Amino acid sequence: MPTVDSRARPAGQPTPDVLIVGAGVMGLWAAVMAARAGHSVLVLERDRVGAGASGGLLGALMPHQPDRWNAKKQFQLQALVSLEAEIAGLEAASGLSAGYRRTGRLIPLAADHHRARALKHAQDAAAAWAIDGKRFSFAVRDTGPVQGWPAAAAMPAGVVFDSLSGHISPRRYLHVLRAVLAGMPRVDIREGANVDSIDPATRTALLADGGRIGFGHVVLAAGVSTFDLFSSLGLAPARMIGTAVKGQAALFRGDIDPGLPIVFDGGIFVVPHEDGYCAVGSTSEDSFDDPISTDSLLNDVVASAYRLAPVLRTATLVERWAGLRPKAIGRDPMIGRHPDFTAVSLMTGGFKISFGIAHELARLVVGEIGGSQVELPPSFKVEAHLNSACGKGAERHIH
């Protein structure tokens, strides 16, 4: 049975066991895991499901480099591997496709010293990229598996093929999660519900329209806005605990095989998707005027993508998109129970890797809510981020 603490819940209000703020990939996975654990769940979403970064285009599932192995990299490896079965389960339950495929990734090598480093990484991967009887490689080759993918001119010193990476369609993925949640008992998603602040003492979420919703436990999964909600709990200002990094991406449609590997070069991704779609990205902008407009920076990304994958010139550019990635102060995801408020958990800061790990993060967050001892990579813990913020001058004061 779930063990959410029912003390101090406000009377006369709807009081889900687990209230989740935000319906991106983090919040929806938190909802699925909480419902699986037997909790009643309410998701409050300011706008609509997928209104934030999760409603974007790219959907690359890529591992960290295999060198200097640590708990964070091991966690991500395990998540990238377990995702396959999770997606199969969600697709079976919903009858919908998330557009998932483990295609691998190609990394063009521009110079001999890049090749030498890649050969070392190949050895690192041989040692580290093995889990649950599965092995993945980081192999250095002279050419890619398919002519022109990437263009020969882009890889004068060869190319790496990693067999671990893959892709998922961000929007289809959210659609599948939503459909699965619709079929689960005691789960509700409320769109257009803007949470203004959280009062952990009375276990109440205060809404911008004046409404109040009680909870047994709250999971803050509001993307970049989580930092504001977090700071309202007692650490000021929000920018000390995390920031928003704008990213722009574009979507093409043409005669592009969805089985082709991702091409990744110098921060530029070319990600084939199902049905001839191919996403390219992304910018990384720490300062910006408009979080959702696209501009010449995206034109530069598209020009780089054309150089990497000339076939894109024959495809149609069907969408330009921009959004904000949540980056926590410690750079890693900020996950788990708040050290000062036992009924508050955080689930944000996935930055550029959320799609591959959200399900495992949610499993840990919900396990912790249920009273289990969970093993988070140390750099993911809320305490670690608070310490980073204090180290940079934030004053920690509890109301």
Ligand X SMILES: Cc1cc2nc3c(=O)[nH]c(=O)nc-3n(C[C@H](O)[C@H](O)[C@H](O)COP(=O)(O)OP(=O)(O)OC[C@H]3O[C@@H](n4cnc5c(N)ncnc54)[C@H](O)[C@@H]3O)c2cc1C
Binding site for ligand X (CB under 6 A): 21-27, 44-47, 51-54, 56, 58-60, 194-195, 221-223, 225, 247-249, 281-282, 323, 325-326, 348, 350-356
CB of 284 to ligand X, least distance (A): 9
* CA-wise closest residue to 263 among 159, 399, 380, 187: 159
Query: What CA–CA distances, in Å, run from 313 to 251, 255, 304?
Result: 12, 11, 11
CB of 241 to ligand X, least distance (A): 14
CB of 281 to ligand X, least distance (A): 5
List, in sequence order, every residue forming a beta bridge with 107; answer none if it has no partner. Answer: 160
CB of 323 to ligand X, least distance (A): 4
Supply the DSSP symbol for 2.
-
Cβ density class 194-211: b for 16+ within 10 Å, e for less = ebeebbbeebbbbbeeee
Q: Are 167 and 59 spatial neighbours (Cβ–Cβ below 8 Å)?
A: yes
Report the phi/psi class of residue 183: left, alpha or beta, with left for phi > 0 and alpha for psi in -120 to 50. alpha
CB of 127 to ligand X, least distance (A): 25
Rg (CA), the chain: 21
Strand 130-131 and strand 134-135: the pairing is antiparallel
Q: Tell me whether the omega of the peptide bond preceding residue 310 falls within 30 degrees of 0, making it cis.
A: no
- Residue number with CB closer to ligand X (5 or 285): 285
List phi, psi (to 5°) of 348: -155, -175
Please count the CA atoms within 13 angstroms of the CA of 107 that sit on its side-chain side: 23
- Residue number with CB closer to ligand X (249 or 389): 249
Question: How is residue 387 written in tokens?
Answer: 């310490």
Sign of CA dihedral 8, 13, 15, 21: negative
- Residue number with CB closer to ligand X (94 or 282): 282
- Residue number with CB closer to ligand X (140 or 344): 344
CB of 125 to ligand X, least distance (A): 20
- Residue number with CB closer to ligand X (113 or 190): 190
**Residue 7 CB-density burial (10 A; 0-12 exposed, 13-18 middle, 19+ buried):** exposed
List phi, psi (to 5°) of 80: -60, -30
CB of 186 to ligand X, least distance (A): 20
- Residue number with CB closer to ligand X (56 or 200): 56
- Residue number with CB closer to ligand X (140 or 219): 219
CB of 229 to ligand X, least distance (A): 6
CB of 137 to ligand X, least distance (A): 21
- Residue number with CB closer to ligand X (140 or 181): 181
- Residue number with CB closer to ligand X (24 or 272): 24
